[in-house]
Structure 1
Amino acid sequence: MSEGPVRVTPGWLALREGADAEARATGLLGPLRDHLAKVSPGEERLVVQDLGCGTGAQARWLAGRLRGPQHWILRDRDPDLLVLAGASVLGPASGGGPVTVETRQGDLTALRAADFAGTSLVTASALLDLLTFDEVDELAAACVEAGCAALLALSVTGRADLHPADPLDAEIAEAFNAHQRRTTGDRRLLGPDAVAAATTAFEHRGATVDSRPSLWRLGPGDAALTEEWLEGWVGAAREQRPDLAPQADAYLRHRLDACAAGELSVVLHHADLLALPAEVSAEVPAEVPGS
Structure 2
Amino acid sequence: MSGFDAKWLTLREPADQAARSPVLLDKAAAFFAARAAAEGPVAVLDVGCGTGSTYRALNPHLPARSLWRLLDHDPALLEEAARQIGTENIDFFTRDLGIVEALPDDGVSLVTASAFFDLASADFIDRFVARLAERRIALYAALNYDGKVTWARPHPLDQRVLADFNRHQLTDKGLGPALGPEAVPHLSAALLAHGYRVETAETPWRIGTAEADLHIAFLRGMVDPVLEVGTLPAEVIGEWLAFRLAYVRGERGGCAVGHLDLLALPPG
TM-score, normalisation: structure 2: 0.93
Match of residue 85, structure 1, among 61, 81, 85: 81
User: Larger RCO: Structure 1 or Structure 2 (Cα < 8 Å, ≥ 6 residues apart)?
Assistant: 2
Which of 56, 72, 75 is the equivalent residue of 2:71?
75
Cα distance between partner residues in 1 of 2:174 and 2:80: 29
- Of 196, 209, 220, 1:220 maps to 209
Give 5+ residue unaligned stretches, structure 2: none
Q: Which residue number in structure 1 is paired with residue 195 of structure 2?
A: 206
| 2:254 alignment partner, one of 262, 265, 268 | 265
Task: Identify the residue that residue 26 of structure 1 maps to in structure 2.
Answer: 22
Shift, 1:39, TM fit: 2.3
Describe the shift of the 1:81–1:262 C-alpha distance in structure 2 as closer, same or farther (beyond 3 A): farther
Q: Aligned equivalents of 1:55 and 1:104: distance in 2? A: 13
- Please report the RMSD computed on the Cα atoms of aligned residues, expressed in angstroms: 2.0
Deviations 1:156-202 (A, max 9, x none): 00000101111111101100100001246892111111101100111
- Change in 2 beyond 3 A, CA 1:185/1:152: closer
Structure 1 residue 86, shift from structure 2 partner: 1.8
Paired amino acid for 1:271 = L
- 1:79 Cα shift? 0.7
**Cα distance change, pair 31–140 in 1 and its aligned pair in 2 (3 A):** same
- Post-superposition Cα deviations, 1:82-118, rounded to whole Å, max 9, x if no partner, equal 1011223279xxxxxxx61111001111123873221
Q: Is the 8 A contact 1:214 1:271 kept in 2?
A: yes
1:75 touches 1:104 (CA, 8 Å); kept in 2?
yes
Q: Which of these residues, 231, 234, 238, is aligned with residue 227 of structure 2?
A: 238
Instruction: Judge which range, 110-119 or 52-61, deviates more.
Output: 110-119
Letter in 2 for 1:198: L
Query: In 2 relative to 1, CA 42–188 (structure 1 residues): closer, same or farther, beyond 3 Å?
Result: closer
1:155 to 108, 133, 144: 144
Q: 1:193 aligns with which of 167, 182, 191?
A: 182
> Structure 1 186/11 Cα, relative in aligned 2: closer, same or farther at 3 Å?
closer
What does residue range 48-63 of structure 1 map to in structure 2 within 5 Å? 48-63=44-59
Larger Rg: 1
Over 3 Å counting, the alpha-carbon distance change for 1:184 and 1:48 in structure 2 is closer
Q: CA separation in 1, counterparts of 2:33 and 2:60?
A: 15
3-state SS of paired residue (1:88): helix
CA contact (8 A) 2:98 2:175 kept: no
**Matched letter for residue 26 of structure 2:** G
CA 89–113 in structure 1, closer or farther in 2 if over 3 Å, else same: closer
Q: TM-score, normalised by structure 1?
A: 0.86
Look up the match of 2:170: 181
Report SS of the residue matched to 2:63.
Answer: coil
- In structure 1, the partner of 2:121 is 132
Relative to structure 1, the CA distance from residue 148 to residue 183 in structure 2 (aligned partners, 3 Å threshold; closer, same or farther) is closer
Identity of aligned residues (%): 33
Partner residue of 1:165?
A: 154
User: Shift of residue 242 of structure 1?
Assistant: 5.0
Which AA in structure 1 matches 2:13?
Answer: E
Structure 1, unmatched stretches of 5+, are: 92-98, 280-291
User: What is the identity, as a one-letter code, of the residue corresponding to 2:244?
Assistant: R
TM-superposed deviation, 1:30: 3.5
Equivalenced residue count is 268
